[in-house]
Amino acid sequence: MALLAQMKLLINLARIDGEVATRERNYIRNIGLANDVNAAEIEPLFEQRHDLIVPTDLTDDQKFDYIFSLVQLMKIDERMYKEEIMFCSKIASKLGYDEQVMFDLMLHVKSAAMGSDEVNALKNLTKKFLS
């Protein structure tokens, strides 16, 4: 359930600039496939409209995964739009983060794959922004 909600938020973010680019689509698809979601379940999500629903029963690790994946997706096309940053800030706030978390995330999240040491260090860095 939480994964599906996360994928819908990612699709909403990808649509902000008008279209879901191939790299964005692949990123979202790979998150689903890595978590055993069937490709046949993923593809229709790209054609649907999704409400902005952020589950309230997430663990701190799940909250981090949500915001990390959103920022990584935002950076994947190497262009960050004001609307995308505002969207991510809004979701961060709904997840219980102080919106200042976006500054650290935008500085440290890479669009390419990151090592587990880098991700864990960033997770620890962002914990201070959780309320």
How sure is the predictor about 6, in pLDDT bands with cuts at 50, 70 and 90? very high
CB 89 within 8 A of CB 53: no
Dihedral sign (CA 33, 3, 53, 81): negative
Distance, CA of 112 to CA of 73 (rounded, Å): 10
For the chain, which residues make up each domain, given as ranges?
Answer: 2-129
Average per-residue pLDDT for the chain? 91
Interval 32-50 mean pLDDT: 91
Strand partners, 130: 97
pLDDT digit string, tens, across residues 52-79: 889 999 999 999 999 999 999 998 877 7
Distance, CA of 71 to CA of 104 (rounded, Å): 11
Nearest to 95 by CA among 130, 70, 52, 119: 130
Distance, CA of 70 to CA of 7 (rounded, Å): 9
CA 51 from centre of chain: 15
Interval 26-54 mean pLDDT: 91
At position 11, the amino acid (one-letter code) is I
Please say if the pLDDT value at position 10 is more than 90: yes
pLDDT digit string, tens, across residues 73-106: 998 877 777 899 999 999 999 999 998 899 999 9
Q: Using DSSP, how many helices (H) and how many strands (E) does the chain show?
A: 7, 0
How sure is the predictor about 125, in pLDDT bands with cuts at 50, 70 and 90? very high
pTM of the model as a whole = 0.87
